[in-house]
Amino acid sequence: QVQLAESGGGLVQAGGSLRLSCTASGSIVTIGDMGWYRQRPDEARELVAGITSGHSSNYEWPVKGRFTISRDDAKNTVYLQMNNLKPEDTAVYYCNLRVAVPTRTGTLDTWGQGIQVTVSS
């Protein structure tokens, strides 16, 4: 019913930058909170940054001052600008959107397929 498409990952040297994008498509009424999570091998998935429908954002401390989350509601897209990347940022990154659809009340907790970010030292 709702599909998420992520892009922008890849391999970068330490100190470099990447910009992740996640676009929703399908039967969408509106999108509430949006967020980016990441998962390293053998570790649990963790929140990186979130942004509300009112564009209020929050960040976990390891990425504060380096990452910026933003959203374009006209394009149903959330972005994660990642600057000054470090090897410990290496992970699979997932977007998460809470999407309201015509066929049910409330929102659907929707996940992207994951995209690899690798930072070399």
Q: How many CA atoms lie within 13 A of 59 on its CB side?
A: 13
User: What confidence tier does 1 reach under pLDDT thresholds 50, 70, 90?
Assistant: confident
Residue 21 sits at φ, ψ, to 5 deg, of: -130, 150
pLDDT in tens, 5-61: 999 999 999 999 999 999 999 999 999 999 999 999 899 999 999 999 999 999 999
